């Protein structure tokens, strides 16, 4: 299996992990878990599992101070902030519209990556991105009725923060093992949310026991599998390709909703799912495994 194919499979696995978030969040809310407690538990439990894996594998965890600071900031200001903003947007917007706005991030990532020279633009990559966006729109069945501006701002803000997080992560990961990076990111996000939640009186353990099962599910599938798979795949295929392929996530979410929440899938949503899959296939078959410009310069100079 070549590097591009393995990277694609890793990102698709990551998308499948992230796709379980909506399912587990619904279960958690039904059990009485509040948003801050839910996201704090998500990152802290994920961090504990990741530290155990690091120790068992005897993976060197010590990294240089500058890189450690970057990873911690990625967790606190990047992933943690994005998670809170997106969750907050759901108070003001339909879930479909909020998800659609969040998934503006592949386009943002691609534009930034092309602008700063991290990625090389290709027309087939652009075509894949357009197909994925059209497919995503059809899958989510977006409703624009009673849109509240604050919800739009929160969701688009989450997309912008996540885009910066991915671009920075793509550079930091060139010198750090993806497992180590994920461990630092989740630890920093979990500790920061725990302290902020306690200080603001927002942490609460007054919920049904089923809430813990939902939190564990979010921590393992929605965080460990999702983040680790994305980082590992991105290091192989680049930030722009990884972001586009990750748009398979809402398709998987819809399928899981049908199976676990007895939601129905319309013919329009089926068409949208096929378009997203087609976009991913275009990347896999025709998009070249482009190397960042900086790496190309390094190779040529050596």
> What residues contact 281, with CB distance under 8 A and at least 6 apart?
none
Are the C-beta atoms of residues 279 and 135 closer than 8 Å to each other? yes
What string of pLDDT tens digits covers the 302 residues of the chain?
777 788 888 888 888 888 888 788 778 888 998 889 989 998 999 899 889 988 888 888 888 888 889 889 988 988 889 888 887 777 777 666 676 677 777 767 777 777 776 666 677 677 777 777 787 677 666 655 556 788 878 888 888 898 888 888 777 777 777 788 888 989 999 999 999 998 888 888 888 888 999 899 988 888 888 877 887 888 788 776 787 777 777 677 777 777 776 666 667 767 776 776 677 666 655 554 444 443 333 222 23
Rounded to whole angstroms, the Cα distance separating 238 from 84 reads 26
Domain with 182, as residue range(s), is: 3-301
Q: What is the pLDDT of residue 291?
A: 42
The total number of structural domains in the chain stands at: 1
Query: In Å, how far are 67, 120, 124, 278, 283 from 290, measured between CA atoms?
Result: 25, 7, 12, 20, 11
DSSP 67-96: HHHHHHHIIIIIIIHHHHHHHHHTTTS-HH
Q: What angle do CA 295, 299, 300 make, to 5 degrees?
A: 115
Largest CA distance in the chain: 60
- Report pLDDT for 294: 37
pTM to 2 decimal places: 0.70
Alpha helices in 90-148 (DSSP H): 95-102, 105-115, 123-140
């Amino acid at each position: 299996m070549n590097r591009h194919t393995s990277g694609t499979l890793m990102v698709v696995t990551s998308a499948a992990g992230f796709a379980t978030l909506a399912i587990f969040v619904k279960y958690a809310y039904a059990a009485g878990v509040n948003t801050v407690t839910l996201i704090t538990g998500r990152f802290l439990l994920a961090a504990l599992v990741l530290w155990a894996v690091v120790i068992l594998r005897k993976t060197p965890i010590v990294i240089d101070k500058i890189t450690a600071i970057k990873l911690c900031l990625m967790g606190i200001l990047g992933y943690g902030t994005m998670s809170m903003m997106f969750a907050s947007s759901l108070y003001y917007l339909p879930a479909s519209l909020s998800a659609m706005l969040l998934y503006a991030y592949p386009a943002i990532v691609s534009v930034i990556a092309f602008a700063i020279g991290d990625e090389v633009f290709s027309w087939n990559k652009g075509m894949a991105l357009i197909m994925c966006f059209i497919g995503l729109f059809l899958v989510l069945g977006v409703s624009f009725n009673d849109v509240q501006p604050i919800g739009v701002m929160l969701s688009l803000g989450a997309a912008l923060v996540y885009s910066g997080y991915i671009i920075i992560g793509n550079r930091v990961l060139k010198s750090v093992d993806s497992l180590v990076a994920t461990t630092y990111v989740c630890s920093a996000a979990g500790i920061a949310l725990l302290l902020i939640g306690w200080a603001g009186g927002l942490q609460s353990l007054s919920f049904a026991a089923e809430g813990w099962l939902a939190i564990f599910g979010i921590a393992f599938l929605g965080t460990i599998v999702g983040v680790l798979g994305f980082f590992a795949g991105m290091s192989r295929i680049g930030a722009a390709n990884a972001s586009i392929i990750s748009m398979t996530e809402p398709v998987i979410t819809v399928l899981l909703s049908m199976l676990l929440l007895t939601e129905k899938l319309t013919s329009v949503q089926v068409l949208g799912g096929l378009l997203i899959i087609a976009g991913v296939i275009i990347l896999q078959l025709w998009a070249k495994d482009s190397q960042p410009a900086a790496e190309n310069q390094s190779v040529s100079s050596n």
